Structure 1
Amino acid sequence: SVQPYTCRRPCPWNTIYVCLNISSTDHPVIKVNAMVGEAAALPCMCPPDWPPYLVWQKSIDDQALVVNYYKDDDQEDNQMALEYRNRTELRLTGNCSLVIHIVCSSDQGLYICYYKKKPLRHEKIYLEVTGQYQHLFPKHIVFKSFNLIKSINMLPLILNSALWKLISTMK
């Protein structure tokens, strides 16, 4: 919405009124849903002729975490947060979307796609993650652990435990 701002300053010979309309258009936040363990595609519709500069950040409180980064045909892993390395990819053909693989509950939150255009442009996307027990037992860890337990003949013990009942409901 446009909120007018009026600046009034008297002059010695005359009175001049200056009216400035200052507005800021907040980009709407796009909501994306993803299941734990699946991939999530976060859209960012940059123009086809965009200059080669793109940064995806996750907003956490007052901080920004770099999720993925692209500049002049270069993706530098050292610019990215550790928890997103080898789990994200950029779709640079036709748009600037970010794909997060093996989504976990900590991925939930506000993401911002910045791309270079005069002035710097951005898109806001909120990723909502759904699923149960995602902090405790990601599937790929559970099954590797299960194979280890099975190999040391502890299967009867684990089958009767509350942990097994919890794991078996995750399938």
Structure 2
Amino acid sequence: MEGYGLFRKDRQGRQGGGVTPYINDQLECMELHLGMDEEPTKSLWVRIKGRAGAGDIIVGVCYRPPDQGDVGDEAFYRQIGAASCSQALVLMGDFNHPDICWRDNAAGHKQSRRFLECVDDNFLLQVIEESTRRGATLDLVLINKEGLVGNAQGQPWLQ
């Protein structure tokens, strides 16, 4: 896309898939390698340099396969922990936890409850209010600072 820089992490061993954020060319940014020495995750992290007096923003995009095991989940949670130390974090993607009820902060499955613990432990706020697929909220936007994301015609956008 003209005017935007492409960052991408392709799915390994298969065609198609992966994660890709486009970031405005006018912003100074760099890819971060969080936990690259561990179990590979389907996530990509970018630090966007803040303007004078403002801190940097870390943007993460991810895809969590529905069949991902505990080892992959824990590696991803360590990445979230490292990124959440940032003053401003926006994490978005498909997390594939259809049993989570965000209104009640409850889940039926162990992996989903562990994900909720990670969100709480890192002081993240989930900002998507409507279900995204078949009555479930699978596609999420998580932030660690209010006001980072606004709503433009039902789609989240960085402010």
TM-score for the superposition, normalised by structure 2 = 0.24
Higher RCO (C-alpha 8 Å, min separation 6): 1
TM-score for the superposition, normalised by structure 1 = 0.23
